[in-house]
Structure 1
């Protein structure tokens, strides 16, 4: 039985690409695969013609035999019973000649062998590697084992990330970084973490991975640079073989001295920290300031059209503006006492009950050290003289601002 350590998975999709029976589907949030129904496959049990069967075979000479599924195309009638009972929903009738059914595990071990971070295994034979990273206490930005591919540099919306040398380590300017998390979602190798959060990876599709053998000089620089050992040498003619699916970091392209490689990747949308929670429609906003004045934690700042700053009620010469806490979690990540934490709250949105991040605060733990105030990229967090609420500026998603807005410019999302 094949097992996955999803905590360490980088969602590169290499296992999905190599599986001969299409039993693995990798998404940004989960891995769907045939788990042999705990070594008692339901598909084989219900197959009326015996097209799907279970057989025992030797995976390793020093281990017990393992069950695997076999398929006899000549016996398959495409009745669909296997598809109906599959608890993992991997078994599918596709009707291809000689392969009428897909989605069953034959224990070929190709996924185990290709995984660049060794998080796929066979219990008792090849244990999946534990790649979990302890993020507690690592602060608002944390970089670990960066391969220097630079994939995260361009997507940064505020140009806070730099890479001085390909193959080196990125740097993040804390004074510029807005803790949106896009870099962490984009990183192919799980090397960047923002506000102690494990990111949901962006979807990506390799459109083209081209190799020009006529210009290749056989230096193997790309082979040595590939963090996942995806690129293989062809010793007979001093060239290489590029994979159909890989982590798509592009490091090989950047180090190739003859520009023999070209990688085209289509990226899915990023999911920045403010993508969920409190929605703001700038076209509807009249900058009245009712939302800021109503917020119990001063997590919204508005400058009205008359120059009044809310909730401080101080006259300024600033232009009308709206700023709010986006619950990025930077304050909670640096709080040494655990007074500020990232929690969650249920919200009914578009008829569905969903969970949303919120900032939670325990005043009894707060020492007013000011670390949260320094870490906040939006200058929302601030210390106060209020003993009951010594820190303000964090959003609890209480919804009072939404109720206060006369123009309906604020909403749950």
Structure 2
């Protein structure tokens, strides 16, 4: 049985690409794969023609035999019972006469061999590498063992990330960083974390990865530079063999001294920290400030069309605007007393109950040190001097702002 350590997975998709039966589907949030139902595959159990059968494979003399599935296309009548019975939803009819069913594990171990993070294994034989993501107490921005690929640099919406040269560790200007988390979602090697959150990784597709052999000088710079050991030397030809699927960090391309390598990567849309929770429609907003005045924690700031700053109720020389806490968690990440933490609340969105992040505050733990104020990229958090609520500006997703808005510009999201 093949097992995955999803915490250690870098979502490169190499396992999915190498699986001969399409039994692995790597998504940003989970890995869907055939696990042979713990040794008793449901697909084989329900197959009326015996086209899918269980066979046991001896991998190691000192370990138990491993179950694998074998498929006889001549016996398959495409009834679809295997697809209906598969609890992992990997088993599917293809419409192909030669391979009428796909999505079952044959224990070829190609996924185990190709994984650059050693996150795939076989229990009792090849255990997946343990990966403990220790980000608690690391602050609002944490850079672990950066590979220096620079992929995150261009993806930052506020140009807060810089790198002196490819291969060196990045630096992040925390005074500029808005804690949106796009860099963390993009990092090909899981080395960057914002506000102590494990991110949902962005999808990516390698559209083209090419080697111009006439330019290659056989220096093997790309082979040595690849953190995942994806690129291999090609015998005595003074060229290299490129993988079909990799982490797409472009480190090899950027370091190639002769520009012999090129890569075209299509990235999926990132999900910034404010993507879920409170929806705001700027076209509907009339900037009257009712939401800011209603918010019990002063987590919304509105400048009205007449120049009134709400909820402070002072006149300012600014254009009409709406700003709110996006619950990025930076304040909670730097709070040494756990007075501020990232909690969750149930919301009903389109008839479905979902969990959304919220900021929770315990005033009895607050020392009024001001670290949270400095960490807030949106200048929402502030010290009030009020012992009952010494810190304000954090969003609890209470929903009172939504009820107060006369233009329906705010909604649960």
Q: TM-score, normalised by structure 2?
A: 0.98
In the other structure, the counterpart of 2:301 is 301
> For 1:6, what is the secondary structure of its paired residue?
coil
Q: Residues of 1 paired with 2:405 and 2:64: CA distance?
A: 67
Spell out structure 1 runs of 4+ moving beyond 4 A. Answer: none
Q: Residues of 2 paired with 1:302 and 1:82: CA distance?
A: 57
Q: Residues of 2 paired with 1:108 and 1:32: CA distance?
A: 17
Q: Residues of 1 paired with 2:178 and 2:157: CA distance?
A: 9
Cα drift, residue 352 of structure 1 = 2.0
In the other structure, the counterpart of 2:182 is 182
Higher mean alpha-carbon deviation, 231-240 vs 118-127, is at 231-240
Q: Residues of 2 paired with 1:43 and 1:255: CA distance?
A: 48
Q: Residues of 2 paired with 1:121 and 1:264: CA distance?
A: 31
In the other structure, the counterpart of 1:155 is 155
Cα drift, residue 85 of structure 1 = 1.0
CA offsets, 1:319-342, max 9 Å, x none?
A: 222111010000000000111011
Cα drift, residue 64 of structure 1 = 2.4
CA offsets, 1:251-309, max 9 Å, x none?
A: 11001111111110111101001111111111222211111111100001111122211
In the other structure, the counterpart of 2:145 is 145
Cα drift, residue 225 of structure 1 = 0.6
Query: 1:2-401, aligned counterparts within 5 Å?
Result: 2-401=2-401
> For 1:8, what is the secondary structure of its paired residue?
coil
Q: 5+ residue gaps in structure 1?
A: none
> For 2:151, what is the secondary structure of its paired residue?
coil
Cα drift, residue 15 of structure 1 = 0.5
> For 1:224, what is the secondary structure of its paired residue?
helix
Q: 5+ residue gaps in structure 2?
A: none
Cα drift, residue 236 of structure 1 = 2.4
> For 1:154, what is the secondary structure of its paired residue?
helix
Cα drift, residue 52 of structure 1 = 1.4
Q: Residues of 1 paired with 2:175 and 2:80: CA distance?
A: 58
CA offsets, 1:80-114, max 9 Å, x none?
A: 22112111111111132321110110111100111
What is the number of equivalent residue pairs in this alignment? 413
> For 1:75, what is the secondary structure of its paired residue?
coil
Q: Residues of 1 paired with 2:380 and 2:200: CA distance?
A: 26
Q: Residues of 2 paired with 1:50 and 1:348: CA distance?
A: 45
Q: TM-score, normalised by structure 1?
A: 0.98
Q: Residues of 1 paired with 2:127 and 2:228: CA distance?
A: 18
Cα drift, residue 175 of structure 1 = 0.3
CA offsets, 1:162-203, max 9 Å, x none?
A: 011101111000000000000000111101100000000111
Q: Residues of 2 paired with 1:4 and 1:273: CA distance?
A: 28
Q: Residues of 1 paired with 2:104 and 2:132: CA distance?
A: 28
RMSD: 1.1
Cα drift, residue 351 of structure 1 = 2.2
